[in-house]
Amino acid sequence: MNWTQIKADWKDMRGKARQQWGKLTDDELQRIRGNREQLEAAIQKRYGMAKEEAQRQVDEWAQKLKKKIAN
């Protein structure tokens, strides 16, 4: 799933993001509005991880979503 699709369906994707990163609040996810950089920054801050790790996790999450849709 490409990021344009994720952003367009963010209302539905918020729940999936919350499942993946349970420390993110509903308010944070709502403010992110599908913006990838904001999602990465929120993950980085909430989990205390490096920027590159947050980017890697978001990449993996998007790939997982793509595989689920393809099946």
For residue 54, the model assigns a pLDDT of 98
DSSP 61: H
pLDDT above 80 (res 26): yes
For residue 70, the model assigns a pLDDT of 67
CA distances from 46 to 17, 25, 42, 66 (A): 13, 10, 6, 25
Supply the range of the domain harboring residue 20.
Answer: 3-70
Q: What is the pLDDT of residues 47-60, one digit of tens each?
A: 999 999 999 999 99
> CATH number, domain at 7?
1.10.1470.10
Q: Per the structure, how many domains does the chain have? A: 1
